[in-house]
Amino acid sequence: MYADKVTVGEVTATSQAVEAATSVSAQFAQSSATDGLLGLAFSSINQVSPTKQKTFFDSVKSQLAAPLFAVNLKYHAAGTYDFGYIDKSKYTGDITYVNVDNSQGFWGISGTAYGVGSTTTKRSFSGILDTGTTLVYTDAAIVQAYYAKVSGAKLDSTQGGYVFPCSATLPNFSITVGGVAQVVPGKYVNYSPVDSSGKTCFGGIQTDDGIGFSIFGDVFLKSKYVIHEAVAGSTPRIGLAQSSSV
């Protein structure tokens, strides 16, 4: 465990806790784009012992113009993080704010419905927003309802999830949060081909079996401008708006 000066963009934590890994997976070691994990969930789930440490966001929050960071990931392009301010050029329409359930240390939200194409179905569910998760993992019934509208889609145990012909037309997907449907364009759900033939593709929406809650990762986030706000003494909240890059 080290304390170091960590700078992200123009924001600096002068004495940020940094934990050095004693072992990493081969996949992680071979990645030329990744050196480590920043960690933007809540400090409460930090695993350092015997004394928990602050996240980068908690370390720099007091020096920011506003106690927030906003995420603007993009489809097939580099995204951005804004620490301390909201960039109005990066979203369209209104921002929908909802209170966060951070009891488990994550940016947790609740939904009241989901949509596949033009059909919306009422269903209550809870989940977290996580930039560190690539796909969307949600209730099996929701996932099944989605792929029922994709020609040729099937659950493939060999691939570990739903696959479909890469040529298939994918319907839009949405979850209703704070009374507003947050729409993900169908093409975002085509995660990648499963092999070099390019005929079969892996779905970006999969079941959350064994997880216990939904995770709305990058496949969802890439269509949004997402504000993570944590005002001292108040319930944290999430702001969702449609990204101007969609």
Specify whether 29 is located in the same domain as 139: no
> Is the predicted pLDDT of residue 47 greater than 90, yes or no?
no
Question: What pLDDT shows up at residue 224?
Answer: 98
Specify whether 93 is located in the same domain as 157: yes
| pLDDT level of residue 31 (50, 70, 90 thresholds) | confident
At 15-24, the pLDDT tens digits run 999 998 889 8
Specify whether 53 is located in the same domain as 90: no
Pairing of strands 205-207, 136-138: parallel
Specify whether 113 is located in the same domain as 10: no
At 168-211, the pLDDT tens digits run 999 999 999 999 999 999 999 999 999 999 999 999 999 999 89
**Residues with Cβ within 8 Å of residue 201, at least 6 apart in sequence:** 163, 164, 165, 166, 168, 190, 191, 192, 193, 194
Report the alpha-carbon distance of residue 230 to residue 225 in Å, rounded. 17
Look at 153 and 28; give whichever has higher pLDDT: 153
* Domain membership flag for residue 70: no
* Domain membership flag for residue 188: yes
pTM for the whole thing?
0.94
Specify whether 204 is located in the same domain as 237: yes
* Domain membership flag for residue 105: yes
Q: What is the domain extent for residue 11?
A: 1-63
**Residues with Cβ within 8 Å of residue 42, at least 6 apart in sequence:** 55, 58, 102, 105, 106, 107, 236
Specify whether 42 is located in the same domain as 110: no
* Domain membership flag for residue 53: yes
Question: What pLDDT shows up at residue 167?
Answer: 96
Specify whether 212 is located in the same domain as 138: yes
Specify whether 42 is located in the same domain as 126: no
Contact 219, 205 (CB under 8 A): yes
Q: How many structural domains is the chain composed of?
A: 2
Specify whether 147 is located in the same domain as 32: no
* Domain membership flag for residue 71: no
- Which CATH number covers residue 3? 2.40.70.10
Question: What pLDDT shows up at residue 33?
Answer: 81
At 77-133, the pLDDT tens digits run 999 999 999 999 999 999 999 999 999 999 999 999 999 999 999 999 999 999 999
Specify whether 24 is located in the same domain as 145: no
Report the alpha-carbon distance of residue 169 to residue 150 in Å, rounded. 7
